[in-house]
């Protein structure tokens, strides 16, 4: 496989990993973790695509298997979470563009915090329209999300390293 198609392969692989976490944890897609990993290893367009494809897969699982309600408010929240997924990706890329860090660990950390904050801010904007500001800002809930997504980021990074070491070509990255 050439590097032109490697990004598509990685979008599929990481989306499948995200789907597994959605089933295992009955939670939303780990977009902060995905956005951080993508910001470090993929072109921006591919990273945003990954965030949106993972969000879409998560929504499909929720409505098809996890009994998400089919009411207008839930559908609107689904759209809101899609924009939060894109916002998380854009936040991760913007942070890395502004802060020139060298180590992969530092890049992942910066991108992760930026993705989490950006996604949370977009979610908060939707919560002001749809309700749910208290839960969006609840410190315990936010901390749990941050820790869970951080653990998923570590697992996804290990997944990435194992597969690239096994010969799966790395995704295309933006040129400096």
Domain harbouring 160, CATH code = 1.10.1760.20
Q: Specify if 171 maps to a domain.
A: no
For residues 171 and 41, the answer to whether their CB atoms sit within 8 Å is yes
Which pLDDT band holds residue 176 (cuts at 50, 70, 90)?
Answer: very low
Q: How many domains does the chain have?
A: 1
Q: Specify if 170 maps to a domain.
A: no
**pLDDT score of 149 more than 70:** yes
Q: Specify if 134 maps to a domain.
A: yes
DSSP state of 166: T
**pLDDT score of 73 more than 90:** yes
Distances in Å between the Cα of 94 and the Cα atoms of 31, 42, 109, 125, 162 are: 16, 13, 13, 20, 27
Q: What percent of the chain lies above the pLDDT cut of 90?
A: 75
**pLDDT score of 2 more than 70:** no
For residues 66 and 60, give the distance between their C-alpha atoms in angstroms, rounded to a whole number.
9
Domain of residue 13 covers 3-165
């Amino acid at each position: 496989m050439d590097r032109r198609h490697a990004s598509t392969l990685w979008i599929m692989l990481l989306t499948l990993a995200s789907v597994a976490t959605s089933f295992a944890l009955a939670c939303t897609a780990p977009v902060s973790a995905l956005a951080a990993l993508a910001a470090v290893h993929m072109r921006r367009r591919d990273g945003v695509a990954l965030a949106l494809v993972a969000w879409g897969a998560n929504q499909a699982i929720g409505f098809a298997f996890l009994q998400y309600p089919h009411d207008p408010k839930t559908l609107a929240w689904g759209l809101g979470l899609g924009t939060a997924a894109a916002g998380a990706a854009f936040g991760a890329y913007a942070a890395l563009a502004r802060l020139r860090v060298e180590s992969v660990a530092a890049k992942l950390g910066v991108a992760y915090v930026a993705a989490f904050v950006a996604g949370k801010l977009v979610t908060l904007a939707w919560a002001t329209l749809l309700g749910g500001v208290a839960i969006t800002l609840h410190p315990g809930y936010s901390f749990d999300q941050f820790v869970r997504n951080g653990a998923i980021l570590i697992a996804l990074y290990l997944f990435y390293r194992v597969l690239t070491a096994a010969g799966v070509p790395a995704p295309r990255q933006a040129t400096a």
